[in-house]
Amino acid sequence: MKKVCARCGMTFSCTDNQSEVTRAFSRLDARQRDYIAENYDNCLCCDCVQEIGKFFYAFGVNPYYSKKRKILSDID
């Protein structure tokens, strides 16, 4: 069954991809999982799950999920 990634729009096969996505997902923490659950209704591809894991805290633009509620407005 083909799925379209809710984040990047790439088509991928959920069954082929499932163990990889599950593995990537299992490395995320609770806030990263909340972020995905609240922002994306559908499956994400493995790359996107990994990217969120890598970059979620990298640029500080997730004030909703940050206790500090720090907003950086100078990021394009």
Q: Binding marks (x or -) toward Zn ion, 16..55, rule CB under 5 A?
A: -----------------------------x--x-------
The nearest distance, CB 10 to Zn ion, in angstroms, is 5
Residues 6 or more apart from 42 whose CB is under 8 A from it? 3, 4, 5, 6
Distance of CA 62 to the CA centre of its chain: 12
Q: Which of 54, 10, 49 is nearest to 33 (CA)?
A: 49
- The reply on whether position 71 binds Zn ion by CB under 5 A is no
Residues in touch with Zn ion (CB under 5 A): 5, 7-8, 10, 45, 48
